[in-house]
Structure 1
Amino acid sequence: MKHKNNNIVLIGFMGVGKGALAREIVRQNTSFYTLDTDDMIESYTNTKIKKIFATAGEDAFRALEQKTADWLANSVKNAVISTGGGFYKVNNLKEIGTVVYLKADFEWILNRILNAHNAKKKLKKRPLFQDPKKAKKLYDERLEGYEKAADIIMDVSSDEFSKIVEKILKATL
């Protein structure tokens, strides 16, 4: 399922491993490079995502995501793009590239974060996980949206990352 821009867009819930998988794809296939939409927004605004939410609100952040999506769709080729958890809502997602939903149970994601060697840092970056009930509610709300937005659904909890990367590359190239 090759997209005209030859981009792979990774969507999924926060903490599922979008950034780590993007880096692994690029390691295995050097014709790609990786971009992270949250990093791009932080760089563009010179402000941390957490601060954008706190000072400007979610609507302002979503507008920045849309602006990023527009740029990606028009300007980027051969990239593996890891996205923020809500990025799947942009109105031109499919124009950016082949959309791969990295799917895992909420408990698997929570355990991945809590058992990471840098768990404190990962939790700090994801303040929503301070309240797992709230995070689970958001996860449940987004589940159907992720599935509808995806060209490919990849269960990431059943295999090691290198195998998942092989499957993603096979399905998208």
Structure 2
Amino acid sequence: MKNIVLIGFMGVGKGSVAREVVGHSNYIAIDTDDLIESMENRKIKNIFEHEGEAYFRKLEKNIAKWLENSVKNTLISTGGGFYKQKNLKKIGIIVLLDSPFDAIIKRIKEHPNAARKLKKRPLLSDLKKAKALYDARRPEYLKLADVVIDVTDKSAEDCSKELLKKVKKHA
């Protein structure tokens, strides 16, 4: 079992799909943003506000090195910009969870904890800038991905089953 690395735009459902995959497989799951918050003992929003994005990306780089050298048989959910790590392909099979921007925003806004989810993502505070960021990142995500799962209007359970089937064929 190789690592599975979930990439995709913020709010696409990486955490939800990861929890479902764990329920249907022998994988354990970790989240790069959670690792960073634990390492720093503060929320990502706070890191962005006080240290800036460059500092946060440096933390991601440290996590990426650790993942490559120390983590096996794990499903790794990543933050939206984690895909830029140079060693990503060495960490595991790259799975893109893909969806149109408007569908991602709709998904977040319809979530029972929508306010908390939006607050947690500082880069979504300006939707025009967020859309430009999505437009810039999506081609890069597609280029990197070993497997692409279209999550639009699908349950996390359906996405996890499709993911496991496609990863098995890819391995």
Query: Is the shorter-chain TM-score for this pair beyond 0.5, marking a shared fold?
Result: yes
TM-score bin, normalised by smaller chain? over 0.9
Q: Which residue of 2 aligns with 1:153?
A: 148
**Segment drifting more, 140-149 vs 45-54:** 45-54
2:136 to 119, 134, 141: 141
**TM-score of the pair, normalised by structure 2:** 0.94
1:132 to 103, 109, 127: 127
Structure 1: runs of 5+ lacking an equivalent: none
**TM-score of the pair, normalised by structure 1:** 0.93
Question: Once the two structures are superposed, what CA deviation does each residue of 1:91-126 show, in whole Å capped at 9, x if it has no partner?
Answer: 100111100011000000000000001111111112
* CA distance in 1 between partners of 2:94 and 2:80 (Å): 13
Structure 2: runs of 5+ lacking an equivalent: none
* CA distance in 2 between partners of 1:88 and 1:59 (Å): 15
Say how many residue pairs are matched: 168
2:24 corresponds to 1:28: yes
* CA distance in 2 between partners of 1:57 and 1:131 (Å): 17
* CA distance in 1 between partners of 2:154 and 2:38 (Å): 33
Question: Once the two structures are superposed, what CA deviation does each residue of 1:48-85 show, in whole Å capped at 9, x if it has no partner?
Answer: 11121222221111111011011011111111111000
Aligned-residue CA RMSD (Å): 1.2
Q: Which runs of 4+ in 1 moved over 3 A?
A: none
Q: Which residue of 1 aligns with 2:33?
A: 38
